[in-house]
Amino acid sequence: MRRICAVLFICLFASGCGLKVERPKEILVTDIMMPADGEFEPGDRVTVTASGFESGDEIRFEIAWTGGSEEFAPEGCAKGVRGIVTERTAGSITFLAPGHYPPSTVGVQLFRGGIFQTLGTIRVSDGVQHEPFLYTLTPTAAGGTSVARGPMYASTDMREEVLTTGLTLDYAVGSIGTGTACGMADGRLVDLDLVTRHTQESGDGALLAGSISASAVAALYGRDDRLYLSGGTSQPYSWQLPEGVTADRIVRQPFAYAFQALLLTVRNDDGTFSPLVLPLSGGFGALLGPAVASEYLLPYWIMQPSADDPARLERVGGYAALHGNMTWFQPLDPATLELKPKLEQTDLLVAGRVLSMTQCVVAGEDSSGEESSGTTVPEVRIGVMTEFEGQREAWIYNPATHSGTGVLNDADLSAVTGIFLAQ
């Protein structure tokens, strides 16, 4: 008994004095050979050879940088970042170089059964997207989708293919600041990593997806007569559908977030459409607006000064409807759920039929009109792909000034099925 007490006393004394007894490092693999010196780009395949790899082995990263980028500090690190493994054998493991960080030195660790073993280090180039890009979706001959990108206001010779998925994407919703997007493929969610050029299915049975903030994309699911929101919020939301409305009548297109609610569209039996509004506060029932005679009803959002505090911007919105050969972006009255009917009341007027629409926020003009103040007001940009008199075009619009810039023409868009903005 005295011997046991003595041992316990020695352990407690050592702990109190700050002494630390380290476990021997575990050896999971031997004969490690890292790639030759050089810098990898995010998404490049990196292969490490060694003896003893197993089928369940994972890769973790310790990422350190000394030159910050935008929201990143001048110096920083990220530990425990999960790597994307593409191939494992008994003699090698292949993974994608990480993205979304400034130029970094990356420690590569093997992870197995709660045990880490350091394999070595690699250098990875800048993985931060510094500006929004316009992306296009184009079907492939094999039945998948090719995603290409180009600057928002540049010519087509600056476009490049980013990635290809074997799924046929109905549409994609981009986010700002994450370098990612979320696509929909026949009810399946598809995560698109636009930096590492990687795709992954993340969910099944979704009705539609949409952006609920600059950087968050969420999905809606239907069960019985209710809708459920998944992702992007700190609490769950669900809504009872209005009487006579079923999930199969909800139009499969991106929803918009405005008036602290989600804006959707319902197809009526007579060929008209109605707004379907899902409040995020003040109730749990979905609200149905009056019918609108149009070939489509596309929800959108813009930013405008709050009536209570003009210094604060808030999201408001409405629906784009086709009237003749023009698409009117008509503001929604959140009290009556009616669209403002007069041409002079529209937020934006676009020639032709809108085939695809996307939105994002960019840094706008200096709020004081002087470059020295450095205070900018965020501005909305709306991208549309239209068809007018048999010709397709893509434009980027500033709804605040009712002006737009043509980006792509019919030759560039002949096979494109959708567009989205992301950074």
User: Domain tally for the chain?
Assistant: 1
Q: With bands split at pLDDT 50, 70 and 90, how would you rate the model's confidence at 156?
A: low
**Residue 365: predicted pLDDT:** 53
Looking at residue 4, its pLDDT comes to 40
In-domain check, residue 343: no
Per the domain annotation, does 367 fall within a domain? no
The answer to the question of residue 182 being in a domain is no
Does 375 reside within a domain?
no
The larger pLDDT score, comparing residue 363 to residue 317, is at: 317
pLDDT at residue 373 tops 60: no
b/e burial code for range 296-324 (CB count within 10 A of at least 16 → b): bbbbbbbbbeeeeeeeebebbbbbbbbbe
**What are the strands, taking DSSP E only, across 113-244?**
115-124, 133-139, 145-151, 160-165, 171-174, 180-185, 188-193, 198-203, 206-211, 217-223, 226-230, 237-240
SS3 (DSSP) at 286: coil
Q: What is the pLDDT of residue 70?
A: 66
Mind giving me the DSSP string for 377-395?
A: EEEEEEEEEEEETTEEEEE
The whole-angstrom separation of Cα 12 and Cα 19 is 10
What's residue 377's pLDDT?
Answer: 81
The per-residue b/e assignment along 61-89, b for 16 or more CB within 10 angstroms, e otherwise, is: bbbbbeeeeeebeeeeebeebebbeeebe
- Cα–Cα distance, 276 to 241 (Å, whole number): 9
Q: Which residues contact 217 (CB under 8 A, 6 or more apart)?
A: 173, 174, 175, 181, 182, 209, 210, 211, 231, 232
pTM, entire model: 0.88
State the Cα–Cα distance between residues 78 and 329, nearest whole angstrom. Answer: 43
Residues 227 and 288: their CA atoms lie apart, in Å, by 14
Query: Can you tell me whether residue 112 is helix, strand or coil?
Result: strand
For residues 356-362, average pLDDT: 96
Round to whole Å and give the CA distance between 253 and 242. 19
What are the distances in angstroms from CA 234 to CA 190, 218, 299, 344, 376? 22, 12, 24, 39, 29
| Helix or strand run (H / E) with residue 61 | strand 58-65
Q: Which stretch of 35-39, 174-178, 270-274 has the lowest confidence by average pLDDT?
A: 35-39
In a domain, residue 75? The reply is yes
Q: What is the number of alpha carbons within 13 Å of residue 34 lying toward its C-beta?
A: 16
Cα gap 66→72, rounded to integer Å: 10
Single-letter residue type at 288: L
Partners of 104 in the β-ladder: 124
Query: Is 89 among the domain residues?
Result: yes
Domain-located, residue 372: no
Q: Which residues span the domain enclosing 60?
A: 24-124
| 307 pLDDT tier (thresholds 50, 70, 90) | confident
pLDDT tier at 266 (50, 70, 90 boundaries)? very high
pLDDT digits (tens, 9 = 90+) for 69-79: 666 778 899 99
Task: Provide the pLDDT confidence category of residue 214 given band limits of 50, 70 and 90.
Answer: confident
- Domain annotation covers residue 74: yes
CATH number at residue 113: 2.60.40.3920
pLDDT at position 26: 80
- The DSSP call for residue 126 is -
What band does 287 get if pLDDT is binned at 50, 70 and 90?
very high
Residues 6+ apart with CB under 8 A from 88: 53, 54, 55, 57, 94
Which pLDDT score, from 0 to 100, does residue 248 have?
95
| Interval 196-209 mean pLDDT | 94
- pLDDT, mean over the chain: 90
